[in-house]
Amino acid sequence: MKNTFYAVVFLLVGFSGFAQESDAAYKAKAVQLIEINSGATFDVMLKPLVGMVAEENKEAFKAEVKESMKDLFDQLAVVYMESFTEAELDEILAFYATPVGQKMTAELPVITEKSMQIGQQWGMKLQPLMAKYSK
């Protein structure tokens, strides 16, 4: 009886450890995808903030922001894991390893910056419309 109990406990602990390792690998893939998609984009979005920091503090500021992004990416990984299976993440990461995927990654900061400018201009055009319906 004791041997059966210990065997069951051993199996449960073993499967639990395997699941944790599998979850860690799955999460690491989600973080990798976030880094590919978001890394350069965050640089573009942070540019205005960096511009407000004193010149002598810019590098330290960027370093601290980069360090804080690890926690952000870990939290975002959970969102990605809710939307994509591990196999799907493997396929997406495989795409980003192709020449077209690498080009997309390289072009994303430029696309993001231009898109933000267009979005700001569009937002300015909405102000009269907002005023019209705010009365």
For residue 130, tell me if it sits in a domain. no
For residue 64, tell me if it sits in a domain. yes
Strand ranges (DSSP E) for the chain? none
Where in the sequence is the domain holding 76, given as residue range(s)? 2-108
Give the model confidence (pLDDT) of 4-36 as tens digits: 554 544 544 454 444 445 789 999 999 999 988
For residue 123, tell me if it sits in a domain. no
pTM of the predicted model, to two decimals?
A: 0.66
Q: Total structural domains in the chain?
A: 1
Per-residue pLDDT of the chain (135 residues; tens, 9 = 90+): 555 554 544 544 454 444 445 789 999 999 999 988 876 677 777 888 888 989 998 899 888 888 888 899 999 999 999 999 999 999 999 999 999 999 998 898 888 889 989 999 999 999 998 888 887
- Determine the number of helices (DSSP H) and then strands (DSSP E) in the chain: 4, 0
For residue 99, tell me if it sits in a domain. yes
For residue 86, tell me if it sits in a domain. yes
Q: Nearest CA to 31 among 62, 23, 65?
A: 23
Q: Which residue has the tokens 């980003």?
A: 96
For residue 128, tell me if it sits in a domain. no
Q: Nearest CA to 34 among 102, 85, 80, 86?
A: 80
> How many whole angstroms separate alpha carbon 16 and alpha carbon 18?
5
For residue 122, tell me if it sits in a domain. no
For residue 39, tell me if it sits in a domain. yes
